[in-house]
Amino acid sequence: MAAGGRRKVVLAVIDSLKPEMLDQAIEEGRAPALAALRERGTCIRDCISTFPSVTPVASAAIATGTGPGEHHIPSMNWFHRGEERYIEYGSSFPATRAFGVVRSLFDTVYNMNMAHLSRARKTVFEHLDDAGLRTACTTYLIYRGRTRHDPSGESVYRRIGEVLQFRHPVYGARELFYADLFDSRNTGCTSALGLPGQRDRHTGCVGAYLVENDLFDFLLFSLPDNDTHSHKVGPEGQVRSIAEADRALERIMHVAGGVDAFLEEHAVIVMSDHSQTKVEERLNLADVFSSWRVLVPADPAPVEAEIAVCPSARSAMVYVLDPAEREGLVKQAIEALEGVDGIELVITRQDGEALVRSARGELRFAPGASWSMGAGSPGALTESRGCSDSRSATAASRATTIPMPWGACGRRSSARTRAMCSCRPRPASSSWTGEAPITSAAAATARWIATTRRAFCWSAAWTSPSARSGPSRTLRRWCSSTSLYGWADERRG
Ligand SMILES: [Zn+2]
């Protein structure tokens, strides 16, 4: 037991866990460890993911407790204004190949944590490391902590990693086990460089070692294989991959002497980062912007490009590249997006107000203002709360924790976009190469136009009319009290 007689904490994140599939896996007897935890614990089903509800954004939210407006991981694919290039975290293998496999891997393994994730927000590992607690993490997208880890080990996978230029140290949780690239100690566990299908077993193996040797107070127990399996066979096929995740949990409980003995020493939280829904139609943004000069991967003449387009499952961001042309091009981009069958909602910022538009109507709101919606509004307003200065913002940020979609693109960061769109439940903008037929249940649509320098706070909630076919979609507060340009410039310098 941890110092002071407190239980150690295991945070198990099962990627893309669909609640209905968890029920089915338990009913069929395929998930005995999860069944035992549910029986002894509390099950909370009314959970909401980030916007966009894709793994990098949601993982960063889980690790930092903030939304994308604050943690700065905006999407699966985004345009880095400082470096003037696309960032691709691995929407699909063809997409990764289009942007460069090594570059995509570098962005995912190194830059996501060391450069893209905001330094202004501590991760759970940094908080706990600072408090003197022992942190541990298996292969999880966000691992940033206070302990330096050099690539080490003598396995064949490690040598392959070296050939792929993975030679740089990182700062992570005290105990870090990341896809054979970083192993803070020799556990004898391997993951074939983090290949899908191997990662849950690797996590179970490492976790059992850590439990047996009492090496953590907090363990982020990452179980990502359910997501890969679900993308491959569809969300309805999750029972099999949930059973695999369950085996990893069972393994760490087994070394402690079974479920009850394990729970005497450990508090366990099992959660997901988002769910998934099946996508049956695709929306090709290349068609929408066929008359535009869109920046392409490895563009031979990037200065000629007018916009960057970043599809990411059921949402997409559009960046206008030339500041001098911004106003006119943003207006045209909005017109181009609004007429497209399959795009459900649009959020724009105009004259200090956020504007959510759909075929059914529009919703406007602003910092410090009350919400109001008419019968033709795009969704049902469920909460009204507002504040106008940074002191109030602090209070509001305590009261609400769900990141808003405009947090993904409204902040003064290198990731700030100019326009966003998202799709109805069925179509998806997919990836650059259209290879992601099954995607997460993304929420609404956000589109920002102007910029702002003042501190402000937004607080409200809104549920999409399409909520009946997926998890309820709620937007709440986004508070900002500092400009992040300084941080971004400092980092670039
Ligand atoms: Zn995920």
CA of 453 to the centre of ligand 1 (A): 33
Distance 492 CA to ligand 1 centre (A): 29
Return the bridge partners of 383, or none.
461
pLDDT score for 243: 97
Distance, CA 352 to ligand 1 centroid (Å)?
Answer: 33
C-alpha of residue 471 to centroid of ligand 1, in Å: 15
pLDDT top residue among 270 and 342: 270
pLDDT at 361: 83
**454: CA distance to ligand 1 center in Å?**
33
Ligand 1 centroid to 439 CA: how many Å? 10
Same domain? 143 vs 211 = yes
Confidence at residue 248, expressed as pLDDT on a 0 to 100 scale: 97
Residue 52 preceded by cis peptide, ω within 30: yes
How far is ligand 1, taken at its centre, from the CA of residue 15, in Å?
4
Domain that holds residue 254: 8-73+117-276
In this structure, what DSSP letter does residue 372 have?
B
Residue 83 pLDDT greater than 70, yes or no: yes
403 and 353 fall within a common domain: yes
Q: Would you state the pLDDT for residue 419?
A: 52
Q: What CATH number has the domain bearing residue 272?
A: 3.40.720.10
Q: What is the mean pLDDT of the chain?
A: 75
Alpha carbon distance 107, 113 (integer Å): 9
Of 222, 253, 276, at which residue does a domain stop?
276
Given this model, what pLDDT does residue 367 score?
Answer: 63
Identify whether 345 is part of a domain.
Answer: yes
Distance 111 CA to ligand 1 centre (A): 19
Say if 107 falls within a structural domain: no
Q: Are residues 181 and 240 in the same domain?
A: yes
The 10 Å CB-count burial string (b at 16+, else e) for 408-429 is bbbbbbbbbbbbbbbbbbbbbb
Which of 51-65, 191-205, 460-474 is predicted with the least confidence, judged by mean pLDDT? 460-474
The pLDDT assigned to 365 comes to: 74
* Percent of the chain's residues with pLDDT above 90: 44
Most confident of 160-174, 246-260, 324-338: 246-260
Give the model's pLDDT for residue 221: 98
pLDDT band at 139 (very low <50, low <70, confident <90, very high): very high
For residue 438, the CA-to-ligand 1 centroid distance in Å is: 12
Looking at per-residue pLDDT, the higher value among 330 and 42 belongs to: 42
Q: What is the pLDDT of residue 208?
A: 97
Percentage of residues in the chain with pLDDT exceeding 70? 71
Residue 158's SS3 state is helix
Within 10 angstroms of residue 314's Cβ, the number of other Cβ atoms is 32
Ligand 1 centroid vs 318 CA: distance in angstroms?
A: 23
Q: Quick check: is 150 in a domain?
A: yes
Q: Tell me the CA–centroid distance for residue 213 and ligand 1, in Å.
A: 30
pLDDT score recorded for residue 212: 97
Quick check: is 79 in a domain? no
Distance 51 CA to ligand 1 centre (A): 12
The whole-angstrom separation of Cα 2 and Cα 399 is: 30
**Which of these ranges, 108-122, 281-295, 417-431, 479-493, has the smallest mean pLDDT?**
479-493
Higher pLDDT, 270 or 368: 270
Which has more confidence, 160 or 281? 281
Q: Is residue 86 assigned to a domain?
A: no
Residue 16 Cα to ligand 1 middle (Å): 5
215: pLDDT strictly greater than 50: yes
376 pLDDT more than 50: no
Q: Which residue has the higher pLDDT, 16 or 190?
A: 16
Domain boundary among 242, 276, 310: 276
pLDDT of residue 421: 57
404, pLDDT greater than 70: no
Q: How far is the CA of 125 from the centre of ligand 1 (A)?
A: 20
CA 243 / ligand 1 centre spacing (Å): 17
Out of 249, 276, 303, pick the residue that ends a domain: 276
Question: What is the 17 CA–ligand 1 centroid distance (Å)?
Answer: 8
- Asked whether residue 231 falls in the same domain as residue 288, the answer is no
Residues 146 and 63 in one domain: yes
For the residues 237-251, what does the mean pLDDT come to? Answer: 97
Average pLDDT over residues 170-196: 89
Confidence at 392, pLDDT banded by 50, 70, 90: very low
Do 482 and 433 lie in one domain? The reply is: yes
478: left (phi over 0), alpha (psi -120 to 50) or beta: beta
CA of 490 to the centre of ligand 1 (A): 31
CA angle 28, 31, 37 (to 5 degrees): 125
Q: Are residues 234 and 340 in the same domain?
A: no
104 or 393, higher pLDDT: 104
pLDDT at 2 exceeding the cut of 80: no
Q: How far is the CA of 227 from the centre of ligand 1 (A)?
A: 6
Q: Is the pLDDT of residue 333 over 80?
A: yes
Q: Do 220 and 237 belong together in one domain?
A: yes
Number of structural domains in the chain: 2
φ, ψ for residue 114, nearest 5 deg = -90, -25
Question: 406 and 434: one domain?
Answer: yes
Mean pLDDT of 161-167: 73
Q: How far apart are CA 333 and CA 419, in angstroms?
A: 8
Whether residue 245 is found in the same domain as residue 317: no
Any domain includes 64: yes
Q: Per-residue pLDDT averaged across 243-249, rounded? A: 97
Torsion of CA 214, 216, 218, 222, to 10 degrees: -90
Tokens of 431: 């990836």
Degrees to nearest 5, angle at CA 24 with 18 and 30? 105
CA–centroid distance, 73 to ligand 1, in Å, is 14
Q: How far is ligand 1, taken at its centre, from the CA of residue 272, in Å?
A: 8
Which of 182-196, 260-274, 295-309, 452-466 has the weakest average pLDDT?
Answer: 452-466
Taking the centre of ligand 1 as the mean of its atom positions, its distance from the CA of residue 100, in whole angstroms, is 22
Q: Say if residue 443's pLDDT is above 60.
A: no
460 has which bridge partners?
384
- Is residue 359 pLDDT above 60, yes or no? yes
Ligand 1 centroid–CA 315 distance in Å is: 15
